[in-house]
Amino acid sequence: MAKKILLLASGGGTLAESVIDAVISKELDCQIVAVISDRPAPVLELAQRKGCPSALVNFSDYSDRETWSEELEKVVESYSPDLVVSVGFMRILSSHFVDRFPIINTHPALLPLFPGAHAVRDALASGATETGTTVHWVDAGVDTGKVISQVKVAVIPGDTEESLHERIKIQERILIVETLKTLAQSGLEK
């Protein structure tokens, strides 16, 4: 039976689209039970176009992070996912949420190097000659969970944050689908 995955996303949805398209084409043997965003974002329109259930748990509608997190947990639970997949979700999840669901995340760097929201900028500022993308298990820290898979991307002289990030995103879209295939076959075990 296909594993049920739920996608968390905050933006345009290019990573989410890679996963959705892999499911539609049957390249990935999973069922997408929902796409959830923390803000009104194009990813919700994408989910609708692709026939995926979607929900908005708008962070700005709540008085504090804890209340928002509790609501997010209730909404996610209502879909009974086997795995939560963070694909460009730009919120830190509470430790309670992380303990409740198995969650993986994509990150635009070779963790443990350059954790946090500015990984590409940080890699360039450090003078790194290579960086990449990582898929990792989410824990209570910021990008500190166990690494599942990585792909390296060379830093080219003259790279800007935007040019490097675009090359990383190409690899990230491939890596998340390949990682999900492996996890689906292995039973989604940490």
pTM of the model: 0.95
Q: Are 160 and 4 within 8 A, CB to CB?
A: no
Render pLDDT for 85-135 as a digit per residue (tens, 0 to 9).
Answer: 999 998 999 999 999 999 999 999 999 999 999 999 999 999 999 999 999
Q: Could you give the number of structural domains in the chain? A: 1
Please provide the DSSP assignment of 103-139 as one string: EEEEESS-TTSS-STTHHHHHHHHT-SEEEEEEEE--
- Return d(Cα 132, Cα 49) in angstroms, integer: 30
Residue 137 sits in which domain range? 3-186
Look up residue 183 and give its amino acid.
L
99: enclosing H helix or E strand: helix 95-100
Work out the average pLDDT over 23-42.
97
CB 188 within 8 A of CB 82: yes
User: In CATH, what number is assigned to the domain containing residue 129?
Assistant: 3.40.50.170
- The answer to whether residues 86 and 104 touch, using CB atoms and an 8 Å cutoff, is yes
Q: What is the pLDDT of residues 139-171, one digit of tens each?
A: 999 999 999 999 999 999 999 999 999 999 999
With cut-offs at 50, 70 and 90, classify the pLDDT of residue 187. low
Catalytic residues: 107
